[in-house]
Amino acid sequence: MGDAGGSAERLAASMTAAGAAGAGAWAAGAEGERRVAAALAGLAAPWVVLHDRLLTPGLSESNLDHIAVGPGGIFLVDAKNWAGEVTAWEGGLFQHRRDSTGRRTSESKHAELMKVHGMAHEMAARLGLPVVPVLCLAGSRAERFGEAQYLRGVWVVPAGRVTGWIAAFPPTVPLVDLPRALTLVMTEFPSTTTDAELLAAIGADLARSRGGVTARYRQPAQPRARRDRRVTAPPARRSDRRALRGLGLVLLIGMVLWLLLSGVYSAAASWVGSAVAQRLTQGVMPTGGPADVRPDPPSCEDFDPARTRTLRKLELTERPSPLGCEWSLTTDGGRQVMVVRMLGLTEITDQLDPMLQRARDDGVAGLHTVPTGQGEASVLWAPKGYPLTTTEGSTTMSLSVVVHVSHQALGLSATEGRSVARAVARSANAAHDR
């Protein structure tokens, strides 16, 4: 179900039309997804395979290439159409290619493994069910990798072997429970072609359900054996986490008292005391480093459409969202159409958004024209810590912002839509810095 590689193909086409660099990489990614989809089509009923689903619908563009649901469980399958040869070495994954001089180069794919593991962890936390993370090699030399290997918490499997490998998993989901599990997966992770307004509503509910804070990455433990088939399990219950945090607080306070009574009041006591204070004031267990505190997301007050030349004559209706704001335009038929959306992202939605990652790799904010339900839209991905250039100059982003401007629905050109997107991001950033 779904169009395998659809979102990557659409993005590649829009980037080609706009003359943007990197369209070839997205086209290759789409081809890899189609190859893996063709392989997964070999899974017999009652297995069901979904393609091109959204990880955090309405909050980010991060997509899940393939999800297989069947008697053996739920499998997240991320397709990688990498050139050259891919090998495993000392628990890591490496890609080997030849450069322009013919010299063999090797590149670690540790970040890709962590990304797949993070997505599976997010899925498991939302579903309340285990999810098996799989990185599926779809390049021309993928079969040279050999048998499936468990690396950094993720299974790495060549596309030619993935169907038989998944089908060989022992049954863990009773047949009577499969429809419920499939419905849950389809509802929680909708297709990338879902109506934009529905996605916005889903995103608002998702952000509210987690208090506006997304799940965090967790470094997986290494398996004790190569064929260990552990899966990413749902996080501990909230009551269990509270009990552990309470026990940690008691132990820290006890350590402080012991240090004071024993007369060892030195740098060690000072550090423990500050750690206790941090725990009491911020509500997080100290980790030896700075606390991970989520900044306030942007709000509707951070951008005034009336101050933008191309929008000031339009009657836009604002609607706050948990991660930012949306502005709608009323059509002649009386229907509200979302035309501008501003989202401030952190944690996993930030780390997993492929376009934010691409912008980081390029060292600048990414701005592209993409197809939507309201026609073409100008979408800006401005990552935290990177420069954003506007007509008013260049500024460094203090938070990651994604801005959607449906310029066709607004009657604007693509150039005007991009100008509006930059203005929205700059305004949100300036308000965040105050």
Residue 96: pLDDT over 80: yes
CA distance 265 to 271: 10
Counting every residue written for the chain, the total comes to 434
User: Hey, what are 260's tokens?
Assistant: 């004071």
Q: Which pLDDT score is estimated for 289?
A: 33
Q: Which pLDDT score is estimated for 349?
A: 60
Q: Output the DSSP codes for 318-362.
A: EEEETTEEEEEEE-TTS-EEEEEEEEEE-HHHHHH-HHHHHHHHH
What percent of the chain stands above pLDDT 90? 26
Q: Residue 322: which pLDDT band, with cuts at 50, 70 and 90?
A: low
Q: Which pLDDT score is estimated for 176?
A: 66
Q: Which pLDDT score is estimated for 309?
A: 85
Count other C-beta atoms under 10 Å from residue 368's C-beta.
22
Q: Which pLDDT score is estimated for 51?
A: 92
The better pLDDT of the pair 289, 129 is held by: 129
Q: What is the pLDDT of residues 51-85, one digit of tens each?
A: 999 998 888 778 899 999 999 899 999 999 999 99
CA-based end-to-end distance of the chain: 46
Q: Where are the beta strands (DSSP E) in 109-194?
A: 132-137, 149-151, 154-158
Residue 302: pLDDT over 50: yes
Q: Is 89 exposed, middle or buried (0-12, 13-18, 19+ CB in 10 A)?
A: exposed
Q: Which pLDDT score is estimated for 432?
A: 86
Q: Which pLDDT score is estimated for 6?
A: 67
Q: Residue 227: which pLDDT band, with cuts at 50, 70 and 90?
A: very low
pTM: 0.57
Top mean pLDDT of 95-104, 105-114, 276-285 is at 105-114
Comparing 49-53, 142-146, 276-280, the range with the smallest average pLDDT is 276-280
Q: Are 232 and 220 in contact (CB under 8 A)?
A: yes
CA distance 234 to 385: 32
Residue 384: pLDDT over 60: yes
b/e burial code for range 93-117 (CB count within 10 A of at least 16 → b) = bbbeeeeeeeeeeeeebeebbbbbb
Q: Are 66 and 160 in contact (CB under 8 A)?
A: no
Residue 344: pLDDT over 50: yes
Pick from 198, 187, 239, 185: which is nearest to 69 by CA?
A: 185
The better pLDDT of the pair 176, 270 is held by: 176
Pick from 420, 212, 206, 433: which is nearest to 316 by CA?
A: 420
Pick from 25, 12, 4, 5: which is nearest to 371 by CA?
A: 12
Residue 5: pLDDT over 90: no
Cα-Cα-Cα-Cα dihedral sign, residues 227, 232, 238, 244: positive
Q: How far, in Å, are 155, 348, 367 from residue 129 at the CA level?
A: 18, 19, 37
User: Hey, what are 204's tokens?
Assistant: 């608002």
Q: Which pLDDT score is estimated for 11?
A: 73
Across residues 398-414, what is the average pLDDT? 89
